[in-house]
Amino acid sequence: MTTLQSTLFVLLLPCEISRLQYGPSANVSHLGRLCDCGCHSISVGLGFHLCLPDPSRSSPSVTFTCIIAISCLLATILLLPVDVALISSTVSSNLGQRKDWATDDVVERIVFSLKLVYYILYSLDVLLCLLVVPFVYFWYEEYDEVAAQAGEQTSAQRFLGAFKYTLSFIAIVVVLFLVGFFVPISKDKNGHGLDFFKKLLTENRGERALSFSVGLLITIGMCLYALYTSTGLAILPIRLIRGAPSISSKNWRATTTTQLESNRERQRQLEGRCAGNPELLSSKDRRELDALVREERTLIRRQRLADEAQGEEQKFFTRAWLRIEAFFRPFKLLGGIILFLVILLTWVSMLLTAIDKAKNSICKHRCGYILGHINIFNPINQVFVQSAKVFPIDYVIFTLLVLLFFSGSVVGIATVGIRFLWIRIFQIRKGHTSPQALLLMTAMLMLMILALNYSISMVVAPQYATFGPQTFCDRSPDSPGTLLDCADSKHLVRSCSESGENEAAKKVCTPSVASTILNRVSINFPFFGAVFFWAQFVFLGFYLIALVAALFRPSKVDEGQLDEDAEEAEEEGLLASNRRGTDSDWQDIISRARRYDGTRGED
């Protein structure tokens, strides 16, 4: 089967399954569900990257690259419910047996086609993260506005300059694939339980190289995921419940007024010492007076902003918007409480699965703590397994959960900032994010989404992500080759699991392609699997620390950033007024010259 044929097959596969089960009328709806994965990814990436950039420094190439990169990563993770639905559609959950149309050949075609789509998406993810985003970053840095306007810099020169710096990342990609191509994989030499997963020990060196590259990126992403996503998930519901600190607060305005009065009183005292002549003051007092004058300007600016925020001197639409926000404030509070409970339930589910893996993993660190079957009840996993029996429900819930973690990652980056150790390099703010910061944030989000892909699939809902609602009939056949039937023995219908030794389970149960790829990374390279596993405990610990800090730390207005924004707005206003004044003067000069030329012509 060629690549083109496989791609067309996976696109038309839901329609074929629909026709076999429900008839031709279901074709359009199932194909639409498959397309939802890409549409939702693009819409999220588009909406996210259109509200952050600074309009004065926005770059179309940067915005387009960020949208495509985030969309590809989200499409990779949002493909999981489609993967589970297609694989599970081959099995009757009530009877624990495959459906009549689900022959071995059809199942193999489904698995192969999904595997092809996943490999294409993962390859794009690696290339976008390690090559495209760095190249666009250097492309933007190479731009010289003065040289470009003077004609001294061409696009070819910018391309060569950006490509020169990108060569190091190309070398990294080549080294990654070479290492993954030749590095030895884990072998079951001592019989530590790897027999259950022999099918995951791939000998395909191309798949091994891609698995190694994805595993390394997930490892890097786990470090960011444990810090930023956990912090964002702890802060997000607290902000919704409390409400963001606002300059329209009466307390803040009263504090500003008090500080202004105190400032002016101190200025009067210093001016009284010198009778209005600052030269008579000591150097220390003069420095204090200069500082008070600068502080007075800042406090006056804050007072003006507070007056505007409280509705004074505001336009009708602004006042109407403030009233709408006040009306929906109770709903925002309720949404914050619900969000907090959902995140808390997810945290508990992750903790239960992590404990289950640590206690009951078949081969522990030797296979990346892969879990043979679920031993501890996981509420989120159970919700997904039950909702997967009706495809759109689990897809909607899964999408909302992914968006929740994605929003937590964004809030975490905006709160902590892009840092190197304790040094803040860039700050992420709505409408004030530079293109460089946007590209770095996109690269960080790509790595965190890869880590999130593992966490949701292997920790949050492992049973759902591996087998979905698939079941098998746990009874001995009357004769070899007889189709097992549990129609009269529903108590013998069991859920599928990785360590199922029953021959009926091996014939019926088919793991999802996403779980196979992730488990293959863990078992082929146990170091990655161990890092993935222990990073979950780091994530859970950081969440608790950030939650306690958010609960007991009061929200405050960032006065320094507020002053900087107000000063920048004033400077832009002055520049605009000066530009308008210069244009009007130039027009006056031109009109006078024309009148003078007309007068000379008449003479």
- CA 427 and chain centroid, separation: 17
Domain boundaries, the chain: 41-142+218-246+327-477+486-560
Is the predicted pLDDT of residue 408 greater than 70, yes or no? yes
Return the pLDDT at 531. 93
The answer, yes or no, to whether residue 584 has pLDDT greater than 80, is: no
Most confident range, picked from 107-121, 177-191, 285-299, 421-435: 107-121
> What letter represents residue 110's amino acid?
I
Is pLDDT at 10 greater than 90 in this prediction? no
Residue 291 — very low, low, confident or very high, per pLDDT cuts 50/70/90?
confident
493-527 pLDDT, tens digit per residue, is: 888 877 656 677 778 888 889 988 898 888 888 88
Burial label for 326, CB within 10 Å (0-12, 13-18, 19+), is: exposed
Q: Residue type for 274, please? A: C
Listed residue (496, 493, 516) closest to 505, CA to CA: 496
* Model pLDDT, residue 362: 78
Closest CA to 439 of 68, 41, 38, 158: 68
Which H or E run contains 58? none
Phi, psi (rounded to 5 degrees) for 500: -65, 120
| Lowest mean pLDDT, pick from 45-59, 251-265, 401-415, 538-552 | 45-59
Q: What pLDDT score does 27 carry? A: 37
Q: Is the pTM of this model over 0.85?
A: no
**pLDDT band of 348, cuts 50, 70, 90:** very high
DSSP letters, 174-234, are HHHHHHHHHSPPP--SS-SSGGGGGGG----HHHHHHHHHHHHHHHHHHHHIIIIIHHHHH
Helix (H/G/I), strand (E/B), else coil: 485: coil
Q: Report d(CA 138, CA 439) in Å as an integer.
A: 10
Highest mean predicted confidence (pLDDT) among 77-81, 321-325, 342-346 = 342-346
d(CA 385, CA 496): 11
Q: How many Å apart are CA 492 and CA 494, to the nearest integer?
A: 6
Q: Kindly give, in sequence order, each residue whose CB lies less than 8 Å from that of residue 245, ignoring residues fewer than 6 positions away.
A: 252, 555, 556, 557
d(CA 80, CA 453): 9
* pLDDT value, residue 198: 52
> Comparing 293-302, 394-403, 404-413, which segment has the lowest mean pLDDT?
293-302
What residues have CB less than 8 Å from 74, skipping those under 6 apart? Answer: 40, 41, 44, 45, 402, 406, 449
pLDDT digit string, tens, across residues 82-113 = 898 888 888 888 877 888 888 888 888 988 88
Question: Lowest mean pLDDT: which of 86-90, 263-267, 490-494?
Answer: 490-494
Rounded to the nearest angstrom, the gap between the alpha carbon of residue 157 and the centroid of all alpha carbons in its chain is 34
Residue 215 pLDDT > 70: yes
State whether residue 493 is helix, strand or coil: strand
- How far, in Å, CA of 400 to CA of 397, rounded? 5
**What are 145-165's pLDDT values in tens digits?**
777 777 777 888 888 988 999
SS3 471: strand
Q: Are 525 and 185 in contact, with CB atoms under 8 Å apart?
A: yes
Asked if residue 541 has pLDDT above 70, the reply is yes
Q: Where are the alpha helices (DSSP H) in 23-132?
A: 27-51, 60-88, 104-127
What percent of the chain stands above pLDDT 70? 71
pLDDT in tens, 156-204: 888 898 899 999 899 988 888 888 777 766 665 554 444 445 555 555 7
**Greater model confidence, 234 or 370:** 234
- Give me the long-range contacts of 45-53 (CB less than 8 A, separation at least 24): 45/69, 45/70, 45/71, 45/74, 46/71, 48/410, 49/438, 49/442, 51/430, 51/431, 52/428, 52/429, 52/430, 52/431, 52/433, 52/438, 52/441, 53/431, 53/433, 53/435, 53/438
Confidence band of 31 (pLDDT split at 50, 70, 90): very low
C-alpha–C-alpha distance, residues 484 and 97, integer Å: 7
Cα–Cα distance list, 538 to 172, 230, 390, 531 (Å): 28, 9, 35, 10
Given a cut of 70, whether residue 228 has pLDDT beyond it is yes
- Report which of residues 579 and 110 the model is more confident about: 110
Q: Can you tell me the distance from the alpha carbon of 360 to that of 5, in angstroms, rounded to the nearest whole number?
A: 42
- For strands 423-426 and 418-420, give the pairing: antiparallel
240: pLDDT strictly greater than 60: yes
- Average pLDDT of the chain to the nearest whole number: 77
Model confidence at 554: pLDDT above 80:
no
Q: Which residue has the higher pLDDT, 375 or 51?
A: 375
8 Å CB contact between 17 and 89? yes
Other beta carbons within 10 Å of 427:
16
Mean pLDDT of all residues in 221-242: 92
Whether the per-residue pLDDT at 25 is higher than 50: the answer is no
CA distance 469 to 387: 9
State the average pLDDT over residues 448-455: 92
- In which band, very low, low, confident or very high, does the pLDDT at 36 lie, cut at 50, 70 and 90? low
Q: Residue 426: phi, psi to the nearest 5? A: -135, 155
Pick the range with the lowest mean pLDDT from 122-131, 300-309, 543-552: 300-309
- Least confidently predicted of 232-246, 296-310, 321-335, 556-570: 556-570
The sign one gets for the Cα dihedral 478, 481, 485, 486 is positive
Average pLDDT over residues 457-479: 82
d(Cα 33, Cα 27) in Å, to the nearest integer? Answer: 10
Residue 80 CB partners (closer than 8 Å, separation 6+) = 398, 453, 456, 457, 465, 512, 514
pLDDT at 365: 80
Which residues contact residue 65 at a Cβ distance below 8 angstroms, ignoring those fewer than 6 apart? 132, 133, 136, 439, 442
436 or 247: which leads in pLDDT: 436
Taking alpha carbons only, the member of 461, 303, 285, 436 closest to residue 384 is: 461
> What does the alpha-carbon distance between residue 52 and residue 233 come to, in Å, rounded to a whole number?
20
How far is residue 32's CA from residue 480's CA, in Å, rounded to a whole number?
A: 42
> What is the rounded CA–CA span in Å between residue 314 and residue 316?
7
